[in-house]
């Protein structure tokens, strides 16, 4: 399930623990923010403006573009951004597309 199902905010330690369990971590910040502030290890960057399209891609196209297996609708996914507003929107987008 999306980690925000019951608790929308995760601590740093909770995120580290989830990453050990092979959760897909999607950072929805803009690319310039990643360049300026740094990439979170083992996350993939899909800016919020691209997310709806990305989550509806053909799995082969997703892998080519993001170098990561596309999540299925039931895979655990964590979204992050700088302050939490965009990641909350990302969660709404994913839910509206049928991700659980």
Active site residues: 81
Q: In what order do the strands lie in the sheet with 24-27?
A: 43-45, 24-27, 77-80
Taking CA atoms, 26 is separated from 14, 21, in Å, by 15, 15
How many Å apart are CA 2 and CA 75, to the nearest integer? 8
């Amino acid at each position: 399930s999306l980690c925000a199902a019951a608790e929308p905010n995760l601590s740093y330690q909770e995120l580290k623990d989830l990453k050990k369990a092979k959760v897909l971590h999607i950072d929805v910040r803009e690319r310039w923010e990643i360049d300026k502030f740094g990439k979170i290890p083992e996350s993939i960057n899909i800016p919020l403006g691209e997310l709806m399209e990305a989550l509806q891609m053909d799995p082969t196209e997703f892998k080519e573009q993001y170098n990561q297996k596309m999540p299925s609708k039931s895979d655990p996914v964590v979204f992050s951004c700088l302050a939490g507003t965009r990641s909350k929107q990302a969660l709404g987008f994913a839910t509206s597309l049928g991700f659980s």
